[in-house]
Chain A
Amino acid sequence: EADIYQTPRYLVIGTGKKITLECSQTMGHDKMYWYQQDPGMELHLIHYSYGVNSTEKGDLSSESTVSRIRTEHFPLTLESARPSHTSQYLCASTPDYSSTQYFGPGTRLLVL
């Protein structure tokens, strides 16, 4: 199983603030993903990356942006948080030879 870390685990911020959610993995996986998930709903893919300097938007429109400057690091940024951004954000990675994604512990974001 992949070692994948997310910080912070919980975050409460005010509307209009800029935030960055961190995601790091130590397995050298090229493929990484960001999902948004609300209770009772499926995981929605918002961003993914197939390697350094590669980023793509996912199936769910999101006002966030991502970067992939290093293989192990895939941060997600919200330039101006709004209450509609309140959700759980999940980061995942997968080795090249597999379709099995391994998830981090998630960040629960509450925007007031």
Chain B
Amino acid sequence: DQQVKQNSPSLSVQEGRISILNCDYTNSMFDYFLWYKKYPAEGPTFLISISSIKDKNEDGRFTVFLNKSAKHLSLHIVPSQPGDSAVYFCAASASGANSKLTFGKGITLSVRP
């Protein structure tokens, strides 16, 4: 059973608009969440993370929101740029799990010029 779910496999957004990528999790022990960006044939690149003691973390154009009661997090990209087109993975970790991460299946974001 998947513990981290990215239910929408793809998202298409126009350049300059907001991209919202969603992620749900089922394991209540998860307390640290990360987003990675991946281009084909390359390794994932760390984007942004959030601890469960926060509900928002911002870094430039990227903001991650965490709703613990709903077990839901989202990544907002504003404004979206064509170079943002990639696969975005949501990942989660639990304290005491020795930094092991559980990943979702990823969302393919396409930003149209």
Number of A interface residues in the complex (CB < 8 A): 27
Binary contact track A41-61/B, C-beta < 8 Å → 1, others 0: 111010010100000000000
Taking a contact as CB atoms under 8 Å apart, the answer to whether A99 and B41 are in contact is: no
Q: A31-B98, A99-B93, A99-B99 are in contact. Are A1 and B105 (CB under 8 A)?
A: no
Binary contact track A92-112/B, C-beta < 8 Å → 1, others 0: 101000111111111010000
Number of B interface residues in the complex (CB < 8 A): 24
Taking a contact as CB atoms under 8 Å apart, the answer to whether B9 and A102 are in contact is: no
Least CB distance, B34 to chain A, in whole angstroms: 6
Least CB distance, B107 to chain A, in whole angstroms: 11
Partner of B106, one of A33, A42, A90, A100: A42
Q: A41-B105, A42-B4 are in contact. Are A98 and B44 (CB under 8 A)?
A: no
Taking a contact as CB atoms under 8 Å apart, the answer to whether A98 and B9 are in contact is: no
Closest to A98 in B: B99
Taking a contact as CB atoms under 8 Å apart, the answer to whether B45 and A103 are in contact is: yes
Closest to A6 in B: B43
Determine the chain A residues whose CB is within 8 A of the CB of B9 once the complex forms: 40
**A contact residues vs B (CB 8 Å cutoff):** 1, 6, 9, 31, 33, 40-43, 45, 48, 50, 88, 90-92, 94, 98-106, 108
- List 17 A-B pairs, Cβ < 8 Å: A40-B106, A42-B103, A42-B105, A43-B44, A43-B89, A43-B103, A48-B100, A50-B98, A92-B43, A99-B101, A100-B49, A103-B36, A103-B45, A103-B46, A105-B42, A106-B43, A108-B41
